[in-house]
Structure 1
């Protein structure tokens, strides 16, 4: 008896060893991904030299209401209107909903599946084929009902990686939506500032018309006293007409800016006609926040979106690798199958099945290797996009800051030149009226004053435009919280028991 037990134990061990050897041999004979890899890595913000260009200034990151700093409630209302009704936002929201649907579909692949089917078939069976009498050559009604269940063991994590990739793509889409909102808000603020610029230039142009009218009146008086001729009069009239044409041109530009704002709001062009004249203030003091390069990656939605796409591609690479390993799917079914209705609900009509299904790729002519190479190429592309997005973001902040500092310095000299030009213009008109100088001197002084006024106005508007662009470059108040949310989502989605292994 003891000898029999020993022999039985030896046979069981030999059987297990044989099965293991066969399984190992099958795996070694299967397709594999040897030699397929990637050495690309996402860039770290600390690896870029930014100390001189982006110095820590103990400033604050923009808040979500960054546009309020300019003190114009109409601007805030326009941005809110656009974020509620613009088709551009609807497009971004639809893309998020689509990504969420893909994520839900991927989650379904990690869970058991249960289906119920019923069919009724009226069929005449052949009397010379497989069906024996008494059914051969007769018409029969077959009723079939089946309840089936299946579950992919996902031993190598293919379905779990697909779910993680889908979740990451959803997070990327949500960051994309925030970037669209930021881009739209920035475009509205900058177009609104352009409208403010046009109104200021319109005021300067109208003042220029008034000065040219004054020169024309003085010229008429000088002609009466013999100091000037009709040549000077015609010159004055030509300059006056040119100034009035400039006012008309600016009026057209103002109307165009209104239509542009209406389009950004997602409304018809008439909406732009009801926008009142902007009343924008100077805005807050410009100072960069500390630890900017490192914190910027969580403040810019475009960087966050690019990072999530890298994460998604990482999981898709793992999913593609899992395709090289065996798939084991457990399935079971129970149902009823009978000819006619009388015997359909009886125990004799009962049918049942259960068992595993194993899929092992052995030779696929290189299809799986090509698929994995494609995933690695997409991963490399996602890494390159992320790195370039990070570089562009750092450069964007540095350029906007440099332009603001340059505008501040230029404005000091421009205002000094403006005051001198205005004094010279007034003095020239006084001397011209008194007959102490000619019209050419007055016109030259007038043109210099006009250019100085326009230069100061444009510098002020440019500086505000750059301030808006800087707030956008710093993320516009966006803060990435998706990492924590994703960890919670992964834990909930993968709560069902799975067999891990590689």
Structure 2
């Protein structure tokens, strides 16, 4: 039998679909929450425009040590945490593809051969009743759900948002990993620098001990002075041993960050970071507003808000009717002899409508849940933005404080160096003792240890500032510009 879809039937279906959705209502369900703009939070004093640059994607290469960016590249290739992030991106991409496919037309081919004995005491009349028949059936069917209310479009948008969210999370992991490696590498450099100074300090204190022993033997000192010298020397040697242990710890830490075993950390050569004067870092202009697009964690939070917004649209569309268009054509006959005859042809076509009328509040509960997810995502975004602004302000404040400390520490080191030089000149002229000369050298080493710690702390804070400013996210092209400048 041949059937045609009448336009009046289709039109009636659409009219009914437009009239009846009032049976299930989402009236009274909503949210008054919204994401905050950067201007909502006062930050002009803490984050002034200073005409600086945003960090480039290759910020790690600006420290004058080729091993550092090489280690970061190795970690981004092998670290299991990043592999997990990549897997989440692939999963989100698969969901996005599946959601897009679900909204498209479907075409299926169903074929079967059924051997059946029909009963004589039911609806089937003779001669089929009580006989064995072989039914051959092949049907090609097609269906398409009309997206009248935008449900499929919103579901696709939500899936795309979650895909972008996963991509941003991957970038967040990359930045976290890169920053951790750079900081650990800088710490390794600091420990080696301190070890060198500790070795120099031990050499001076060994000479002081020998001098104290000689003075005690000659009656110029009591036994108290040699014992004090032994005590101080033992403390310095213990500090050196502690530094060796810390160096080993950092090497193992770097091996783990690289996604390799602890032996990989032992293969890292001593850092050769440039010992620059740490020029003043300047913040970029329009920082609060531009920071939104520069930090991956803010981007993650923003895509989560967008995804939950689309989820709400999907949940609202569930209150409206689903309209499906279906059609099928095929062959259905008893026996093979008539299977290919025109009289065995079967055709069907027509619209189908599903309308929720009463569901005991299930749809309203689902929509309330979607709004709760939205409110949580908005709150998380706002908190992330507040934390990001505070992070940048804290990092730049630390840099400024260390800069001020460096000036005083450098002045103290210069004064100690000058005092040692004067003591050496006086010693050569016979106007000073060797003990005073050695003590002056120990003082120089102490000021250099303080200066080294401050310089490495300054670099660590600079790395932290680069990360707080997004580490090149949103600015992926390598740049020859200074890190912040």
Q: Is the 8 A contact 1:69 1:284 kept in 2?
A: no
Contact 1:301 1:480 in 2 (8 A): no
Task: Give the counterpart of 2:270 among 269, 273, 277.
Answer: 277
For 2:240 and 2:212, how far apart are their aligned partners in 1?
23
Partner Cα separation in structure 2 for residue 325 and residue 480 of structure 1: 44
Asked if 1:330 is matched to 2:321, the reply is no
Equivalenced residues, count:
464
Change (3 A) 1:209 1:141: farther
Q: TM-score, normalised by structure 1?
A: 0.85
Gaps of 5+ in 2: 1-8, 477-485
Structure 1's 409 and 323: CA in aligned 2 closer, same or farther, altered over 3 A?
A: same
Q: Pick the aligned partner of 2:49 from 51, 56, 59.
A: 56
1:142 positional shift: 2.7
In the aligned structure 1, how far is the partner of 2:421 from the partner of 2:13? 105
Question: Which of 400, 403, 414 is the matching residue for 2:409?
Answer: 414
Task: Give the whole-Å Cα distance in 2 for the aligned partners of 1:233 and 1:20.
Answer: 103
Is residue 137 of structure 2 the alignment partner of residue 144 of structure 1? yes
Name the counterpart of 2:152: 159
Answer yes or no: is the 8 Å Cα contact 2:17–2:321 preserved in 1. no
RMSD over equivalenced CA pairs, Å:
3.0
1:112 corresponds to which of 90, 102, 105: 105
1:72 to 65, 71, 79: 65
1:26 maps to which of 20, 26, 39:
20
Which of these residues, 76, 82, 86, is aligned with residue 93 of structure 1?
A: 86
Is the 1:227–1:435 Cα contact (8 Å) retained in structure 2? no
Please report the TM-score for the alignment, with normalisation by the length of structure 2: 0.88
Of the candidates 428, 449, 455, which is equivalent to residue 454 of structure 1? 449
Name the residue aligned to 1:11: none
1:177: Cα distance to partner? 1.1
The whole-number CA distance in structure 2 between the counterparts of 1:228 and 1:146 is 112
Equivalent in 292, 298, 301 of residue 303 of structure 1: 298
**Aligned-partner Cα distance in 1 for 2:309–2:365:** 17
Cα-to-partner distance string for 1:275-329 (whole Å, 9 max, x where unaligned):
1111112366411111111111111111112111111111111111111111111
Q: Which has the higher contact order (CA 8 A, sep 6+)?
A: 2
Cα distance per residue 1:376-419 (max 9 Å; x no partner): 11111111111111111111111111100000001111222334
Q: Which residue of 2 aligns with 1:472?
A: 467
Cα distance in 2 between the residues matched to 1:45 and 1:365: 43
Counterpart in 2 of 1:343? 338
Equivalent positions of 1:40-51 (< 5 A) are: 40-51=33-44
Whether contact under 8 Å (1:122, 1:139) holds in the other structure is yes
Matches within 5 A, 1:119-138: 119-138=112-131
- The more displaced of 19-28 and 253-262 is 19-28
**Contact 1:140 1:339 (8 Å CA) reproduced:** yes
Contact conserved, 2:21 with 2:356, CA < 8 A, in 1? Answer: no
Cα deviations by residue, 1:235-283 (Å, 9 ceiling, x for unpaired): 3233323222221211111111111111111111111111111111236
Distance of 1:479 and 1:351 partners within structure 2: 58
Which whole-Å deviations, capped at 9, do the CAs of 1:113-167 have from their partners, x for residues lacking one? 1111222333333343333333334443332222111111111111111111111
Structure-2 change in CA distance of 1:55 and 1:475 (3 Å)? same
Q: 1:332 to 1:192 in 2, by over 3 A?
A: same
The answer on whether the counterparts of 2:199 and 2:240 sit within 8 Å (CA) in structure 1 is: yes
| Equivalent residue number for residue 479 of structure 2 | none
User: 2 CA distance for matches of 1:326 and 1:480?
Assistant: 46
Q: Take 2:41 and 2:321, find their aligned partners in 1: how far apart are those partners?
A: 45
* Counterpart contact for 1:114–1:148, Cα < 8 Å: yes
The answer to whether the Cα contact below 8 Å between 1:334 and 1:352 also exists between their aligned partners in 2 is yes
Equivalent of 1:321 in 316, 323, 346: 316
What is the aligned partner in structure 2 of residue 500 from structure 1? none
* Separation of aligned partners in 2, 1:284 and 1:112: 62
Counterparts in 2 of 1:24 and 1:189: CA distance versus 1, 3 Å: closer
Runs (5+) with no aligned partner, structure 1: 1-14, 482-502
